[in-house]
Amino acid sequence: MIRRLGVLVLAAGLAAASPAEFTGPARVVDGDTFSIGAERVRLWGVDAPEGRQVCQDAKGQRYACGDAARDQLVGLIGGRIVRCEIRDRDPYGRAASRCQAGSTDLGGAMVRAGWAVDYAQFSRGAYASAEAEARRARRGLWAGRFETPSTWRADERQARPAPVAPPQAGCVIKGNINAQGRRIFHVPGQQDYAATRIDTARGERWFCSAAEARAVGWTAAAR
């Protein structure tokens, strides 16, 4: 009986030590971020363009590469159930995970298609060969010119103007217009709220409630 109990304890210990896994349908936010139920997921080891990032295509024309990367991830998942293994937690509390839809490693597939890069400081080169393949074939981002997402984020932080106070107390919902001209509102507590700056000269504005924003055609931000 004691021996059997020891085996059970050992098995329980091994199970506890194994990486946490979860599965479910995914709601995509951008090229490397989605949610499964209440869990926010960041694809481990890769970095895709940010939602507001703009790149140049093969003809030198500007395009919303963040949106293109998001659409690629949506297509790769294809409505299938996603299975994730948590590797870490990022500073935003997201589960940095290696995820699959069927037999497709989503991070590797994004890099191989050219819509994400190997995030070497975290992946330790796990997707370096996939990135080299995409670069040689000039797929996705590599067909034109782009800043790596990490460089783009750093530039955005440096260029960020001082916050502008809302014109009316309590009206703190930010109505932002993205690179594609879509009108999106951000409420306090959302991930991109602090980074969003309102430029009234561009038609951006503040709202006092989500209902007010929706009433004039603005949609809620995904994150």
Q: What pLDDT, on the 0 to 100 scale, is given for residue 2? A: 39
Cα(42)–Cα(85) distance, rounded to whole angstroms? 11
92 compared with 11, residue with greater pLDDT: 92
Residue 52, C-beta contacts closer than 8 angstroms, at least 6 positions apart: 66, 178, 179
Q: What pLDDT, on the 0 to 100 scale, is given for residue 160? A: 64
* pLDDT tens by residue, 84-109: 999 998 888 899 999 999 999 999 99
What length does the chain have? 223
* CB 163 within 8 Å of CB 194: no
pTM above 0.85, yes or no: no
Question: What is the dihedral sign for C-alpha 16, 17, 23, 28?
Answer: positive
> Amino acid identity, residue 86?
I
Where are the strands (E) in 14-126, listed by range? 21-24, 27-30, 33-36, 39-43, 46-47, 55-56, 62-63, 82-89, 95-101, 104-105, 117-118
* pLDDT tens by residue, 25-56: 999 999 999 999 999 999 999 999 998 899 99
* CB 212 within 8 Å of CB 181: no
* CB 81 within 8 Å of CB 163: no
Beta bridge partners of 185: 175, 220
How deeply is 217 buried, as exposed, middle or buried, from its count of CB atoms within 10 A (0-12, 13-18, 19+)?
exposed
Q: What pLDDT, on the 0 to 100 scale, is given for residue 128? A: 96
pLDDT of residue 159 exceeding 80: no
